[in-house]
Structure 1
């Protein structure tokens, strides 16, 4: 039902806002904020979440709270003419509340790398940055096409969180990246336990930067896997987590890890 609501909203809103270009935008997700900067729409951005941390200047923008628990009072006080949410990052309760408050809401909805260029163009059309959006989308696709396989089918695991263990499953965009790089993702779903990981014996493990200390216990538990024995434990930044044009930098980080190894 929620998906259908989003589809109906998209159809209605796409047809309605083109007549009047939005000037005051609130972003409810880091990937939305990053994409708006790529589209050179930072002058329209009047509010962001506490998790929006790129580029540096975004830290000076008014904060509206978290992605799943924003302050609706703060959002209303900013008087936006458009609130942009993320398909995967915004809970349906938040979406419904925004609508109930009479706010215009647009859903930025890429599910994977393949869909990202077209979603960038759709967003550009909505906010009056059509020409720039086409340029950004084309550049993104060009950069993706340049990425080469640097791995050779190694069994790999991308651990997003360590307690409980959350991993990039086969339906995630990170799985898509792993395939592009020549890795064989051992995770089918988004969660695994220690016993499953040991049994599947990854040869390469990726983790997010900033978790080096907190994952020590987990890595100790995985000490008998090939990845630990060979020292194939790699840390990458949150660039690779966010479906925005900046994800290219995250993919290149993963490429450089292999080259430097």
Structure 2
């Protein structure tokens, strides 16, 4: 009887202390109960919240949170340049989800100094995305939904991996900007997407996550395909796209000569969120087209 009473006391003490979650910054954050008021500081984090069925907890988000449609009606608390600290504090969030290495600046310190709980997330690889769904689900009291969504995503990614496991490689230059000319290295999730489809990022070895490159270096690499992110809803072969105009003086470039230049929806291929599988499908479809035409020569 005494032992039973002691166990009950321990259980009560554990319940009172709450649950400790460890974020992607390696910090332990304790929550007495699942947060009911949440602010997200990046659009991919917003998508995670909705994906696990916790959209009703969202009381503030960034101006770039555009999916799902319900997210567009959530109060805006800033952009990548500036956070409205006073607005965030007025919303009285019990949790602020932060994009690790994406959100920076003194505002984060101000939020923490005011007593808000900050939880950092950063899925760097494709397989980190389903893990993040599980973590967000557990954090927000929707563990079952998080597990279910993660299982679905893993299954869809596994199918795409199997389909492209023996695909002939295609060298790719991913064009982030044209002025200045910028790309993404092998540490970015987008490079992981290309690799799953048999794409080889020609600048994967560069040290910076989003390095600036020269026209000459791209010409020297001679990528077979050039991708760029768009605000459109589907991928499209589009060699006449304005962003690709800088390559017209280089007709010997394989991607230019064969017209293998594609616009891919940016929210799908560069956003580190649960819709990444749709970005994989788009990238794979474009690269499969390159392979078909290359084989038909």
Offset at residue 85 of structure 1 (A): 0.7
Question: Superposition RMSD on alpha carbons, in Å?
Answer: 2.1
Match of 1:257 in 2: 286
User: How many angstroms apart in 1 are the aligned matches of 2:226 and 2:133?
Assistant: 31
Match of 2:217 in 1: 196
TM-score (norm. length: structure 2): 0.79
Offset at residue 151 of structure 1 (A): 5.0
Match of 2:199 in 1: 183
Give the 3-state SS of the residue equivalent to 1:235 in structure 2. strand
Q: 1:136 pairs with 127, 145, 149, which one? A: 149
CA contact (8 A) 1:157 1:167 kept: yes
Corresponding residue pairs, total:
252
Match of 2:128 in 1: 115
Runs of 5+ unmatched residues, structure 2? 1-22, 233-239, 291-297
CA contact (8 A) 2:124 2:187 kept: no
Q: 1:32 pairs with 33, 39, 45, which one? A: 45
1:89 paired to 2:92: no
Match of 2:25 in 1: 7
- Classify 1:222/1:112 alpha carbon distance in 2 versus 1 (closer, same or farther; 3 Å): farther
User: How many angstroms apart in 2 are the aligned matches of 1:97 and 1:222?
Assistant: 50
- Classify 1:237/1:215 alpha carbon distance in 2 versus 1 (closer, same or farther; 3 Å): same
CA contact (8 A) 2:123 2:272 kept: yes
CA contact (8 A) 1:68 1:94 kept: no
CA contact (8 A) 1:108 1:123 kept: no
Shift >4 Å, 4+ stretches: 210-214
1:167 paired to 2:188: no
Cα deviation 1:173-194 (Å, max 9, x = unaligned): 1111111111121112232211
Larger radius of gyration: 2
- Classify 1:59/1:229 alpha carbon distance in 2 versus 1 (closer, same or farther; 3 Å): same
Offset at residue 92 of structure 1 (A): 4.8
